[in-house]
Amino acid sequence: MTDKTRPLLLTGASGNLGRALTKALGEAGWVLRLTDIAPFPDTVPEGSTFTKADLNDGVTILRLAEGCQAILHFGGISTEHPFETVLGPNYRGLYHVYEAARREGARVLFASSNHAIGFHERPSGNAERLDATCEFRPDTFYGLSKAFGELMGRLYWDKHGVENLNLRIGSSFPEPVDRRMLSTWLSYADLARLVEKFVAAPRVGHAVVWGASDNADTYWGADHRDRIGWQPQDSSEPWREKVGDKVSGDPVTERYQGGGYTADGYTRKVPSPKDAFSLD
């Protein structure tokens, strides 16, 4: 039976996804410990608390995690920045989260990203959809930090038995705004339902789930969603006519699953091979 009185620690609570989750989980009766380096701009749900903290502060993260059944890790740098900017919150901060989970016997939901695999080319048919075991092909320093985060989860599962789910979020916004997002969009409601399923699941192990709603043109296939019993209920289809054929016009952006992140700082003269170790 799910115990909603045992707290959930939510990092990155002041971001767009953190705020959406706080609202949904608070309304569902969960007790939340919210934290972010930025002030929380909304009303804190009854029975929950907010603590302003830096993910680099391992002592505070350990204290916030005390007694928590799960850590929902949505904190850190959420877009591309120079490596030194990403390093502290996305690497050291993640270590603090996993150390807290190990100490408390908590499971971790890590907000990973499609940018951990962004240099995979977009599929031309269903047979080419990626599954959860595909190789990492990060498209930015940000995407690299997400690949690192998933590997951190593997380490803590293998070495300490810390259960974790790596949610490779596509594009989670109120609605899709271009043709790529018709494939990658994740509704806020589907995200909240996934989090609740994750917390309540009897066993998770080390798992990867594609963070997208039930979109007809998805890039992604098999994953571990059955472990938590999650099936998305929303779809990008209602926005297809509104979005139309809106694309970037950039050939690199349109070639790869990571979209515009792949084109950021891109200097190759010809595309890299599908086989990352090929010379062709």
Residues assigned a catalytic role? 142
CB atoms within 10 A of CB 73: 28
Q: How far, in whole angstroms, is CA 35 from its chain's centroid?
A: 17
Q: Is 21 helix (H, G, I), strand (E, B) or coil?
A: helix
Taking CA 149 as the corner, what is the angle to CA 144 and CA 155, rounded to the nearest 5 degrees? 125
Kindly give, in sequence order, each residue whose CB lies less than 8 Å from that of residue 135, ignoring residues fewer than 6 positions away: 117, 276
Beta bridge partners of 47: none
Assign 211 to helix, strand or coil.
strand
- The CATH code of the domain at 8-263 is 3.40.50.720
Cα–Cα distance measured from residue 76 to residue 93, given in angstroms and rounded to the nearest whole number: 7
The per-residue pLDDT string of the chain (280 residues; one tens digit each, 9 = 90 and over) reads 578 889 999 999 999 999 999 999 999 999 999 999 999 999 999 999 999 999 999 999 999 999 999 999 999 999 999 999 999 999 999 999 999 999 999 999 999 999 999 999 999 866 689 999 999 999 999 999 999 999 999 999 999 999 999 999 999 999 999 999 999 999 999 999 999 999 999 999 999 999 999 999 999 999 999 999 999 999 999 999 999 989 999 999 999 999 999 999 999 999 999 888 888 7
d(CA 271, CA 250): 13
Measured CA distances, 127 to 123, 180, 210 (Å): 8, 18, 17
User: Which has the closest alpha carbon to 69: 151, 148, 150, 1?
Assistant: 1
Q: For residue 161, what are its two tokens?
A: 């038995």
pLDDT at position 125, please?
Answer: 65
Residue 176 backbone dihedrals phi, psi, to 5 degrees? -70, 150
Residue boundaries of the structural domains of the chain: 8-263
Residue 127: what pLDDT?
63
Diameter of the chain measured on Cα atoms: 59
* CA nearest to 6, candidates 27, 33, 28: 33
pTM, two decimal places: 0.96
Residue with tokens 């350990």: 62
